[in-house]
């Protein structure tokens, strides 16, 4: 029987984006260790599905509709969480995503791209696309952090942000997403220093290449076979596979449990199958 993190039992975790593949899996895992889970998601339908799965296994969960880019929404969500559970011990800023107008079609520049209407070149990237990505990922981490840290100060709780391996080394095609995740790494360090004396710890998880609904079309064909981009990724991944949601659980539990990581703050933990360690030769 696997060990249970008893230190987490009865505590409350708030997870933005908890209706997604990765954060939904993390929510269910924390519930297995006795945490009460508040899922903030937009749309609410996916959050409801995660909450239902937790309740079916005997856990406590609450699903709340929340647009993390709107402070009033986040404030309302906090009030609902405190009313239902009375406290907040852990905030996971998992809401995020990309936008087509913040991404290029091709990996590298070619003069012919400019004249091809089917190709989004560097010069076709839009301010609106970048703003959407920055707002969702970076502001969507700032606002919940501001709102929920007022509760975390009372419980000496912690924050786990969702970064990406595209933060230290930007992936081709997705400049807006990579820049936003780099901002999250920087913000994680800033918050860790700013709140260091309060007992609040702030860290991040940085997944490598995981197959989710957001990137399924990028990584697989309709028949489930890998795209050329995925084959290229795997050629640079020593463990020779894509990540699975449960691959995040160990680092998640380590950072969430003060008795394991009480002196750990300001770091971003890579979970990438060795991708960043491989030079390519």
Q: What are residue 226's DSSP bridge partners?
A: 220
- HEC string of the chain equals CCCCCHHHCCCEEEEECCCCHHHHHHHHHHHHCCCEEEEEECCHHHHHHHHHHHHHCCCCEEEEECCCCCHHHHHHHHHHHHHHHCCCCEEEECCCCCCHHHCCCCCCCCHHHHHCCCCCCHHHCCHHHHHHHHHHHHHHHHHHHHHHHHHHHHHCCEEEEECCCCCCCCCCCCHHHHHHHHHHHHHHHHHHHHCHHHCCEEEEEEECCECCCCCHHHHECCCCCECHHHHHHHHCCCCCCCECHHHHHHHHHHHHCHHHHCCCCCCEEEECCCHHHCCCC
d(CA 38, CA 144): 13
d(CA 55, CA 217): 31
d(CA 193, CA 181): 19
From the list 177, 226, 260, 278, the catalytic residue is 177
d(CA 184, CA 89): 21
Terminal-residue alpha carbon distance, the chain: 41
User: Does the active-site annotation cover 177?
Assistant: yes
Active site (catalytic) residues: 177
């Amino acid at each position: 029987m696997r060990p249970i993190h008893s230190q987490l039992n009865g505590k409350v975790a708030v997870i933005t984006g908890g209706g997604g593949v990765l954060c939904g899996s993390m929510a269910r895992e924390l519930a297995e260790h006795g945490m009460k889970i508040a899922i903030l998601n937009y749309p609410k339908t996916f959050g409801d599905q995660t909450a239902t799965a937790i309740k079916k296994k005997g856990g406590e969960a609450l699903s709340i509709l929340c647009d993390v880019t709107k402070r009033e929404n986040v404030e309302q969500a906090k009030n609902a969480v405190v009313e239902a559970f009375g406290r907040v011990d852990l905030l996971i800023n998992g809401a995020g995503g990309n936008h087509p107008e913040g991404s290029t079609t091709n990996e590298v520049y070619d003069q012919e791209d400019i004249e091809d209407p089917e190709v989004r070149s560097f010069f076709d990237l839009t301010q609106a696309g970048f703003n959407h990505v920055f707002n969702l990922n970076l502001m969507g981490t700032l606002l919940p952090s501001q709102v929920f840290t007022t509760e975390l100060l009372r419980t000496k709780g912690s924050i786990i942000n969702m970064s990406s391996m595209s933060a230290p080394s930007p992936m081709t095609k997705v400049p807006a997403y990579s820049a936003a995740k780099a901002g999250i790494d920087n913000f994680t360090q800033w918050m860790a220093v700013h709140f260091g004396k309060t007992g609040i710890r702030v860290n991040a998880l940085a997944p490598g290449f995981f197959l989710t609904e957001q990137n399924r079309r990028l990584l697989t064909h309709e028949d489930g076979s890998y795209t050329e981009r995925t084959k290229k990724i795997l050629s640079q991944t020593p463990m020779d596979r894509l990540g699975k949601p449960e691959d995040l659980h160990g680092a998640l539990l380590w950072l969430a449990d003060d008795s394991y990581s009480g002196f750990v703050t300001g770091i971003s933990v890579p979970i990438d199958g060795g991708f960043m360690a491989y030079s390519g030769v």
